[in-house]
């Protein structure tokens, strides 16, 4: 899919977010950045573009692209929405010295660790560093862009108001009362989806009692590979309840025609937050433009733009009124920090992956 900023016309299999040609005037250094940043801006303008491998759709990017077009009109952004295959694509291209990604942006509990261990993360200290909490830099050179919640959703035409679940425990209780819900409960699949893998790895790690819930629901659960499929099948009535699905879909669930059919909520027995991370690659063809892009993305203005696209910003200087949905701060205030489960890159996951997946499959076979 190729997206042109002004008209958002779909074409081909990649997303190109192209901005208007640059002006001849010198680019102003952002406030509170060092004066030496002007030199990097000049080099970035010469490079003219960034290539980003990501797992975000064009709609999610749109508000940020509009901000970037105003801030750096000389910059062209080419962004793929390629999912897990982005890693192998980058490795194949970089090893053969072919043009490849300047930045990688995605969620993963294991692939970010591997990427860093292979020496593929280009270390860079953003001028935004003082505004970022320590936990938002899980690996040197890897920055968190947003903390997106996993939510529960149910079809209110299939679940009576007095049965509406508020937690995963409520779903198990309802299943005991309504065995007809077998096969009508869905969630993200850890076997085929990295987001599903991350969410259930961290939830069962943080709340070991989650295994008993999964075993209790067993074969009543039909996992799905993508959040889009979960949403579509909830709306169509193929599923009645989604235990956990991406909160990046909240703007879709808020559309009037969909809101009339389904209700989404934060489950009361723990809300996993997906740390959507980004890093400049060692093989970046446009390293200066990549740094400028990253700095804007991590800035207050960039984080607000991402929030308008449906992501969940975490900077403490972003207020509830700045974005249409929640921030990390408002989630903490609403739910309590003890109920937020950050899905961090985890070096220990590699040796636990197969035992974890085996236990998952066994739980769902009950």
- Judgement on whether residues 289 and 215 belong to the same structural domain of the protein: no
Picking from 17-21, 31-35, 37-41, 53-57, which range would have the lowest pLDDT averaged per residue?
17-21
- Structural domain harbouring 168: 152-271+334-364
Please check whether residue 86 lies inside any domain of the structure: yes
- The tokens of 112 are what? 């970010």
- Judgement on whether residues 214 and 291 belong to the same structural domain of the protein: no
Per the structure, the count of domains in the chain is 2
Please check whether residue 3 lies inside any domain of the structure: no
pLDDT at 33 over 90: yes
Please check whether residue 5 lies inside any domain of the structure: no
- The tokens of 13 are what? 């299999």
Are the beta carbons of 295 and 128 closer than 8 angstroms? yes
pLDDT digits (tens, 9 = 90+) for 207-242: 999 999 999 999 999 999 999 999 999 999 999 999
Instruction: Provide the CATH number for the domain around residue 347.
Output: 3.40.190.10
Closest residue by Cα to residue 175 from 161, 162, 163:
163
Angle between helices 194-206 and 349-364 (to 10 degrees): 90
- Judgement on whether residues 43 and 167 belong to the same structural domain of the protein: no
Please check whether residue 4 lies inside any domain of the structure: no
pTM over 0.85: yes
Query: 16: which DSSP letter?
Result: E
Which whole number is the average pLDDT over 21-48? 82
Average pLDDT of the residues of the chain: 91
């Amino acid at each position: 899919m190729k997206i042109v900023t002004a008209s958002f016309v779909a074409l081909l299999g990649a997303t190109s977010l192209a901005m208007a040609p640059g002006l001849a005037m010198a680019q102003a250094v952002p406030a509170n950045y060092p004066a030496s940043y002007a030199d990097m801006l000049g080099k970035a303008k010469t490079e003219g573009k960034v290539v980003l491998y990501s797992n975000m759709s064009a709609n999610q990017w749109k508000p940020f692209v509009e901000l970037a077009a105003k801030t750096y009109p000389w910059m062209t952004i080419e962004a793929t929405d390629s999912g897990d295959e982005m890693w192998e694509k980058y490795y194949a291209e970089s090893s053969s010295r072919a043009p490849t990604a300047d930045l990688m942006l995605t969620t993963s509990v294991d692939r970010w660790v591997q990427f860093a261990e292979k020496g593929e993360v280009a270390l860079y200290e953003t001028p935004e560093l003082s505004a970022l909490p320590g936990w938002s830099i899980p690996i040197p050179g890897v920055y968190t862009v947003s903390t997106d919640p996993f939510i529960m959703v149910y079809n209110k035409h299939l679940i009576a108001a007095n049965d509406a679940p508020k937690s995963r425990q409520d779903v198990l209780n309802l299943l005991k009362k309504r065995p007809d819900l077998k096969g009508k409960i869905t969630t993200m699949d850890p076997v085929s989806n990295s987001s599903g893998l991350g969410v259930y790895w961290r939830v069962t790690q943080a709340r070991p009692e989650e295994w008993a819930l999964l075993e209790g629901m067993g074969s009543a659960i039909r996992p799905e590979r993508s959040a889009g499929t979960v949403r579509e099948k909830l709306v169509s009535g193929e599923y009645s309840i989604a235990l956990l699905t991406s909160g990046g879909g909240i703007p879709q669930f808020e559309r009037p025609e969909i809101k009339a059919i389904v209700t989404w909520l934060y489950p009361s027995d723990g809300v996993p937050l997906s740390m959507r991370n980004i890093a400049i690659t060692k093989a970046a063809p446009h390293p200066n433009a990549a740094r400028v892009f990253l700095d804007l993305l991590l800035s207050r203005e960039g984080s607000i733009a991402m929030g308008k696209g449906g992501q969940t910003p975490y900077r403490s200087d972003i207020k509830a009124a700045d974005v249409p949905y929640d921030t990390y701060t408002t989630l903490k205030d609403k739910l309590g920090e003890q109920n937020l489960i950050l899905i961090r890159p985890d070096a220990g996951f590699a040796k636990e992956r197969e035992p974890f997946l085996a236990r998952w499959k066994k739980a769902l076979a009950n």
